[in-house]
Amino acid sequence: MWLTTTRPDTLTRFTFPYPTRLTHSRNASRFSRFFQSPARKIRVTPLQTKKLDEDHEVSSPVSPEYPSDEKFSVDLGWLSAFPHVSVASMVNFLFGYHIGVMNGPIVSIARELGFEGNSILEGLVVSIFIAGAFLGSISSGLLVDKFGYRRAIQIVTIPLILGALVSAQAYSLDEILCGRFLVGLGIGVNTVLVPIYISEVAPTKYRGFLGTLCQIGTCLGIIFSLLLGIPAEHDPHWWRTMFYAASMPGFLLALGMQFAVESPRWLCKVGRLDDAKIVIKNIWGESEVGKAIEDFQLVMKNNGSDLDSRWLELLDKPHSRVAFIGGTLFLLQQFAGINGVLYFSSLTFQNVGITSGAQASLYVGVTNFAGALCASYLIDKQGRKKLLIGSYLGMAVSMFLTVYSVGFPLDQDLSQSLSILGTLVYIFSFAIGAGPVTGLIIPELSSSRTRGKIMGFSFSVHWVCNFLVGLFFLDLVEKFGVGPVYASFGSVSLLAAAFSHRFTVETKGRSLEEIELSLNSRDDLS
């Protein structure tokens, strides 16, 4: 059997020694085009590749043993960028971990540090994380301008590591607040930087798939924290171990980014063209070098560099429109109730006999992870806009199903089953679109000059809305009941679907420079 591979701009050919000719099935053809290999043995031009895809066959090289073989193509073009993107996505693993790490141990922390029963202080320990993240998201652009994405991500691992260690060694309320704030500060900066880094490093064809690694990382972090937190139900001091464990991914992130590539677009902005060409050659393929550099320089010539951009530029067109879309998408995402539903889901599961909060949260985490995996498969096939609209429609239907189950006279078992189904469908729907697409499409629509600032602004809206939902959710449930609150979440989800249909544009399969030039010339991208 022969095995020949090509660069990302061509196809990988696996040649099997069959004496007769074989015909591709449609499914086999679709599967084969999904993979690509970074190695090279035979070059095939794009025109030849197109012809091969149409015919689903190619004449094999003449071999003394096998004079005529059939060839199958496998697309692994994403593989060269995958290690760099995976390392950066460890930020989202830490984000998810620090979301889940307070799920159960907050009671033990409050008891040991002397503020048990004070709901305000307990809430402050949780929410100070969001305050730090808000400040971090606003200041993220300053680090990138000076150090670039790779070094900036490394620098911001310092408060992540210190915050985890300070929290683990805390013996007073002030110390735990300081640790949580430092962690939030680091998360706030890096949750802005990482989606931009991925969008600028990933090959255009696989940008959606690689971008969903952020959501997958968040899901894995939540699941890992919940699994690690199981002993906390029996050991009141286990929470310190959990915070010590949170420092380890920070060290791995700092080390891993030392071997990751820098964004070729940032390298071009600071005049390091030779370095940018090397990155493009290694990650995108040698045939992309000339066109990519030409596109980078054309965009910079038209709009200038983001190194001298100002916040007030977000008020100018077309930046103001993208900032409006980004801020509104995050506002609708949060007021569609994802954090409230996640918080209340443990009570929903308790109604059907699942009394372990960790077990209930694990079901939620696995559902979230399954949705993120589906998103990674669909996002470059169906496109961002379809996933976003479909996601919010699914969230709306599931919320109204839950409202029906708790608001109408039904058999108790049926009511409980519908509540569980509605909760899980809502979480799955969120993970398949509203979660990963929102963070991905904003840097895609943003210009290179204002990308960092638009992302910083959008995530600032995210953190403020996140804080408000967490602060008022339980009070609203106590005053109005679950039904009206969940009905409002469903209504916001419908509004978000309508907004996505009206204002978002499809970015699938287009380079960031193509999108930017089209927006600047007011071309219709939808």
Task: Please give the pLDDT value at position 365.
Answer: 82
Query: Which residues have a Cβ under 8 Å from the Cβ of 259 and sit 6 or more positions away?
Result: 87
Phi/psi of residue 63, nearest 5 degrees: -125, 140
The pLDDT tens digits of the residues spanning 163-191 come to 999 999 999 999 999 999 999 999 999 88
Q: In sequence order, which residues have a C-beta less than 8 Å from that of residue 375 and are 6 or more positions away? A: 212, 215, 387, 431, 432, 433, 435, 436, 437
Average pLDDT, the chain: 79
In percent, how much of the chain has pLDDT > 70?
Answer: 79
Query: Which domains, ranges and CATH numbers included, belong to the chain?
Result: 77-261 (1.20.1250.20), 264-308 (no CATH), 309-525 (1.20.1250.20)
Residue range 248-289, pLDDT digits in tens? 999 999 999 999 999 998 888 888 888 989 998 988 888 888
Q: Stretch 319-345: mean pLDDT, rounded?
A: 87
Give the SS3 label for residue 7.
coil
**Distance, CA of 418 to CA of 38 (rounded, Å):** 48
* Tokens found for residue 325: 């879309």
Question: Using an 8 Å Cβ cutoff, are 207 and 199 in contact?
Answer: yes
Residue type, 93: F
Residue 1 and residue 41 in contact, taking contact as beta carbons nearer than 8 Å: no
Kindly report the number of other CB atoms within 10 A of residue 23's CB atom.
8
pLDDT digits (tens, 9 = 90+) for 417-448: 888 888 899 999 999 999 999 988 998 888 88
Please state the rounded mean pLDDT for residues 445-467: 87
In total, the chain counts a number of residues equal to 526
Report yes or no: 170 and 193 within 8 Å, Cβ to Cβ.
no
What is the radius of gyration, based on Cα positions, of the chain? 25
Q: Where are the alpha helices (DSSP H) in 383-481?
A: 384-407, 412-429, 436-445, 451-480
d(CA 419, CA 405) in angstroms, rounded, equals 6
Peptide bond between residue 195 and the one before it cis (omega within 30 degrees of 0): no
Burial 69-96 (b: 16+ CB within 10 A, else e): bbbbbbbbbbebbbebbbbbbbbbbbbb
Sign of CA dihedral 187, 217, 249, 471: positive
What pTM value is reported for the model?
A: 0.78
Distance between the two ends of the chain, CA-based, in angstroms?
46
Coil, helix or strand at residue 2: strand
Q: Which of 31-35, 134-138, 229-233, 510-514 has the highest mean pLDDT?
A: 134-138
